[in-house]
Amino acid sequence: SQQGEEDPQALSIQEGENATMNCSYKTSINNLQWYRQNSGRGLVHLILIRSNEREKHSGRLRVTLDTSKKSSSLLITASRAADTASYFCATEHNNAGNMLTFGGGTRLMVKP
């Protein structure tokens, strides 16, 4: 079973607009990571935010984490057609191996 839930499941925007994706989880975490997956490809790591951090930036990406609400958001600013992909949040918990537990993903389409 999957830990997190992502919202929305699908998002379609025009190039240049901002895209916001949300992720909720159920149990306490060490950190939360966002990944991108292009159709038929592997997962590309975007950003890692630790449980004691509230916000992190990387280029056009901004991630927030609210541990009291057990939620995170990923904002992509000034989107491009190349940003079209599925985006997954993954939580790392304090257990053997510290494996990742993924949400169901948000499928983002950016129209040129």
Partner 1 sequence: GAGVSQSPRYKVAKRGQDVALRCDPISGHVSLFWYQQALGQGPEFLTYFQNEAQLDKSGLPSDRFFAERPEGSVSTLKIQRTQQEDSAVYLCASRRLAGGGDTQYFGPGTRLTVL
Q: In the complex, which residues of this chain contact partner 1 (CB under 8 A)?
A: 2, 4, 30-31, 33, 35, 40-45, 48, 50, 88, 90, 92, 94-105
Integer Cα distance of 33 and 89 in angstroms = 6
CB of 11 to partner 1, least distance (A): 15
* 83 or 92: CB nearest partner 1: 92
**Amino acid letter, residue 2:** Q
Cα 97 off chain centre by? 21
* 50 or 80: CB nearest partner 1: 50
* 30 or 77: CB nearest partner 1: 30
Integer Cα distance of 70 and 60 in angstroms = 24
CB of 78 to partner 1, least distance (A): 25
Integer Cα distance of 102 and 97 in angstroms = 15
Integer Cα distance of 37 and 20 in angstroms = 16
* 1 or 112: CB nearest partner 1: 1
